[in-house]
Amino acid sequence: MMKFWQSKKKREIAAIEEANRLKKEELALKAQRNKLDEQVFVLINEMEAKKSYQSACDLPEIPAGVIPAGKQPAIAQDSIVDLNNYAASAPHFYKGFIGYPALANMSQSTDYRCVYETTAQEMTRAWGEVKVANGGNEDYKDKIKAIEGRLKELNIRELMRKHIENEMIFGRSQIFIDIRQHKHLDIPLLINDKSLGKGCLKGFTLIEPIWTTPSFYNANDATAPDFFKPLRWFVLGKEIHDDRLLTLIMRPVPDMFKPVYNFGGISMLQLMQPYVERWQRTVDSVSDLIHSFSITGIKTDMQNVISDGGEGTAQLLLRSKLFSLLRSNQNLMMLDKDGEEFFQFNTPLSTLDNLLQKSQEQMAAPSRTPLVKLLGVTPSGLNASSDGEIQVYHEYIASMQEAHLRPQIEVILNLIQLDLFGKIDDQIIFEFNPLEQMNDEQLATIEKSKAERDVSLISAGVLAQEEVRTRLAKDESGDYSGIDVEDVPEQPQWDFNYGNNQEEAGDTAGTMA
């Protein structure tokens, strides 16, 4: 009996010890799990911080073949070392350059294309004319005709339109100046009659920025004029001097961000991205809401479904199918008068059109494009008009032409003069046409006002007839362009005593009778 109790006691002690051991293992596993959770939490925080850090100052991705074999890119990690200290801590609405592949993919969307296509077309719509600075077009008539023919042959207008589109998509666009018999492209291009002569110009080639990256730039001397301006570029394995590239950047970034953006500017698509994504999200939400704006159901007894299991579920599905088949207005909807009740909830849709309109209008903000130009949306309301917006937009486009297109067109004009004549005439200039287009009635009113003004000035002796004829002959847009200034028609002789003479003649005739 004693042995039995001793054995039982040992078993109880062993069970207690086993329980204590299991409890210790459970506590150890729990402590280990807590430690792992802490490590995962720290890792997630580090990954988020690293993600924010990389998105703010990650180096641009350059495709293989752009940098020649054995050469090192000019943009290295130390190019953005000053930015690294602030990128992870400062809040950024835009996290940095999103990359050329992402921008190219965004350009397939109509919401993005409508902006850069509209701007590029507007900047080249009216185009311009080659003129003489002092107005003596007659002496330069043959030269101007030859230059305009060469501009048309090289399709410069279409080239500049694509140039603008390219820049608005990627933030930078370049045109390569192709000179005949120039093999060393890494040396400067001097545009003068000493280095270039007749027949020197072969043409121009548009290059997307994904195929180029700087090979050298000054990052040491902030007082130098070429500070953070690439001197040479790698273009698919070739090293080309910056003088041989017409680089267009209409929205430059600060020096701190230039290496991150591959020495380009901010793409218009990147500026539009938050607005377009909000618009697309709003459209999808409204579409889903309209699709399911009405919720229809039947209040029924679900106890049978819960208690009967599969059989009750099958009956419920059969009832739902029957209700769906008969819910149309052209059919009959049947309900159990005691166990079922019909209900319907409808979502109000009265303000959805206003929400869509406001969200869509926000897309016009980054590009400063009027809604009537961008989306074809005309103002509504009493005496509503978009004339003021169009005028402001034309002023903005004209300023963009002068700031960004004119310097490059002047280079092209000088190259064409060297190619045709072997020298550059500074009197020959390019002038953009006005963006405002007047109708026939407005033009007729202006011509009438000018004619009345000329008559008044001639009558007052301020101007002579020959001076007015000279102006009319030089006005190529007028109806009297090219008239002979010297061949002045004879003025009609008006007899202001014509009536008195008739009376005298009648009296004489009566007397004679």
336-395 pLDDT, tens per residue? 777 777 777 777 777 777 888 888 888 888 998 988 888 877 766 555 567 788 889 999
Cβ-count burial of 264 within 10 angstroms (0-12 exposed, 13-18 middle, 19+ buried)?
Answer: buried
Most confident of 43-47, 151-155, 367-371, 491-495: 151-155
The residue that leads in pLDDT, 66 or 60, is 66
For the record, the structure tokens of 114 come out as 């409508």
Question: Which pLDDT does position 1 carry in this prediction?
Answer: 62
Question: Which pLDDT does position 93 carry in this prediction?
Answer: 53
Question: Which pLDDT does position 7 carry in this prediction?
Answer: 74
Look-up of token digits 């200039």: 429
Question: Which pLDDT does position 311 carry in this prediction?
Answer: 65
Amino acid at 26: E
Predicted confidence band of residue 312 (pLDDT cuts 50, 70, 90): low
Predicted confidence band of residue 310 (pLDDT cuts 50, 70, 90): low
Question: Which pLDDT does position 79 carry in this prediction?
Answer: 59
How large is the average pLDDT for residues 201-229? 93
Integer Cα distance of 278 and 465 in angstroms: 65
Task: Identify whether the C-beta of residue 251 lies closer than 8 Å to the C-beta of residue 268.
Answer: yes
Stretch among 135-139, 178-182, 436-440, 473-477 having the lowest mean pLDDT: 135-139
pLDDT above 90: residue 402: yes
Amino acid at 217: Y
Question: Which pLDDT does position 172 carry in this prediction?
Answer: 97
pLDDT above 60: residue 503: no
Integer Cα distance of 473 and 450 in angstroms: 14
Residues with Cβ within 8 Å of 96's Cβ and at least 6 positions away in sequence, in order, are: 55, 56, 57, 58, 87, 257, 260
Residue 358 CA, chain-centre distance (Å), reads 20
For the record, the structure tokens of 296 come out as 């229809």
Integer Cα distance of 315 and 229 in angstroms: 77
Packing angle, helices 268-291 and 110-125, rounded to 10: 130
Integer Cα distance of 312 and 335 in angstroms: 18
Residues with Cβ within 8 Å of 378's Cβ and at least 6 positions away in sequence, in order, are: 371, 372, 384, 386
Q: How far is CA 40 from CA 34, 35, 44, 308, 415, in A?
A: 10, 9, 6, 46, 64
Strands 201-207, 212-217: pairing is unpaired
SS3 state at 317: helix
Predicted confidence band of residue 486 (pLDDT cuts 50, 70, 90): confident
Could you report the per-residue pLDDT of 72-86, keeping only the tens digit for each?
Answer: 778 765 555 444 444
Strands 230-235, 238-241: pairing is antiparallel
Most confident of 46-50, 223-227, 435-439: 223-227
Integer Cα distance of 265 and 249 in angstroms: 6
Integer Cα distance of 118 and 128 in angstroms: 18
pLDDT above 80: residue 290: no
Q: Which residue, 175, 230, 211, is CA-closest to 415?
A: 175
Q: Beta-carbon neighbour count of residue 400 at 10 Å?
A: 17
pLDDT above 80: residue 313: no
For the chain, what is the mean pLDDT? 81
Could you report the per-residue pLDDT of 160-181, keeping only the tens digit for each?
Answer: 999 999 999 999 999 999 999 9
Predicted confidence band of residue 254 (pLDDT cuts 50, 70, 90): very high
Residues with Cβ within 8 Å of 112's Cβ and at least 6 positions away in sequence, in order, are: 106, 269, 272, 276
Task: Identify whether the C-beta of residue 440 lies closer than 8 Å to the C-beta of residue 134.
Answer: no
Could you report the per-residue pLDDT of 102-134, keeping only the tens digit for each?
Answer: 999 999 999 999 999 999 999 999 999 999 987
